[in-house]
Structure 1
């Protein structure tokens, strides 16, 4: 995730980060500029269309459709940001529940070997969930010092959650935890699977294809017809105007595409690996 100072206006304007949409759209912007120049040459120089040409009135269509496309893009970006923000809230809950569970167990347990187990496995859940959501393989080094194994062919976060429940049950059977203490920590244990399921729902349910495809087609045809009417009133000045219009509209769609899956490896995705590392540090401090 990109870290930045919201007050650095000058840096925002003149600096082009690798995740900036300008870099991604530059080839298409050049193409749109050349296309617009060709339309200008054909209409004015080659076909010699005059003021009475009906082609001049094509811009009326853009005036009517501009409001529609702005509504579509506003809804698109808001929906994508809602998914990003929900993912951030879920990982915030995972951080808090991991700390609460570690805090409670550090007080309830007396044997260091039991504390050592949870000191390793509680942060391991966050780390494995981070890799699971970004489709990375989990490393067994997370369980160094413990006789635990992860089957990479099965659901990895569920395996770790099962280990936690199994260990808690063993502690209860051996009278190291009372029934009341078991009830106290049950909500944190259960929340791990609830958070995992909610994150998977976000990741595995993209924006409907027909909706996303329609917006892309709408932007394409809107931009490709834009020069036909604008070249009469703006001449070659229509080239930068059309290119800039394309940059604005396409950038909004690109931003929405990037943040609608907040668990990937893009620059603006959630720093789940960093949050998992923070969970590890805090759990070790508590226990």
Structure 2
């Protein structure tokens, strides 16, 4: 995730980060510029069209559709940001529940071996979930002297949650925790799976294809018809104007595409690896 100072306007304006849409759109911007120049040349120099040409009236369509396309892009970016923010809230919940679960167990458990088990396995869940959401393999996880084999063929976060659940019930059968304490711990134990399921819902449910494809086609047709009418008022200056309009509209769509899946490895995705590392640090402090 990109770290930045929200008040540093100069950096925002003149710095091009690797995640900036300008770099991604540059080839298309050259194409749009060349296309606009060709249309301008044909209308002005080849066909010698004048102010009375009916092509000039195409701008009426652009005026009517401009409001529609702004509504579509606003809805698109808001929907994508809601998914990004929900993902951040879920990982915030995972942080709090990991701390609460650790605090309760640190107060209840006295046996050092039992405490050591949870000190390693609670952060392991966040680590495995982060790998699971980014589709990275993590078949064998080693935490100091605690060896935990994770089966690739099975749901990896569920395997870690099962380890913790089995250990809690084992402690209950041994009399190390009471029935009241078992219920006391169940809320946080259940929350691990709840967070995982909600993250998977975001990860595995993209924006409907038809909706995303329609916006792209709408932007393309809108931009490609701009030179036909505005060439009569702007002349060859229509080239930078059309390129800039395309850059603005296409950038909004690209930004929405990037943040609608907040668990990837893009520059603007959530720093889940850093959050998982913080969970490990905090849990070790609690049990230490």
Same fold (TM over 0.5): yes
Q: Could you give the per-residue CA deviations for residues 90-112 of structure 1, whole angstroms, max 9, x where no partner exists? A: 00000000000011100100011
TM, length-normalised to structure 1: 0.99
Paired residue for 2:174? 174
Q: Could you give the per-residue CA deviations for residues 102-146 of structure 1, whole angstroms, max 9, x where no partner exists? A: 111001000110000000000000000000000001252444422
CA contact (8 A) 2:139 2:149 kept: no
Partner Cα distance (2:26, 2:149) in 1: 48
Partner Cα distance (1:271, 1:153) in 2: 26
Structure 2 counterpart SS, 1:148:
strand
Give every structure 1 segment of 4 or more consecutive aligned residues whose post-TM-superposition deviation is greater than 2 Å: 139-144
Q: Could you give the per-residue CA deviations for residues 67-95 of structure 1, whole angstroms, max 9, x where no partner exists? A: 00000000000000000000000000000
User: 1:118-133 maps to which residues of 2 (within 5 A)?
Assistant: 118-133=118-133
Paired residue for 1:21? 21
Paired residue for 1:212? 212
Paired residue for 2:146? 146
CA contact (8 A) 1:94 1:192 kept: yes
Deviation at 1:151, TM superposition (A): 0.4
Deviation at 1:147, TM superposition (A): 4.1
TM, length-normalised to structure 2: 0.98
Paired residue for 1:227? 227
Paired residue for 1:39? 39
Paired residue for 2:102? 102
Q: Call closer, same or farther: CA 1:75–1:103 in 2, change over 3 Å.
A: same
Partner Cα distance (2:163, 2:141) in 1: 16
User: 1:6-17 maps to which residues of 2 (within 5 A)?
Assistant: 6-17=6-17
CA contact (8 A) 1:124 1:142 kept: no
Paired residue for 2:272? 272
- Aligned-residue Cα RMSD (Å) equals 0.8
Deviation at 1:183, TM superposition (A): 1.0
Partner Cα distance (2:151, 2:175) in 1: 30
Partner Cα distance (1:191, 1:4) in 2: 32
Partner Cα distance (2:14, 2:139) in 1: 41
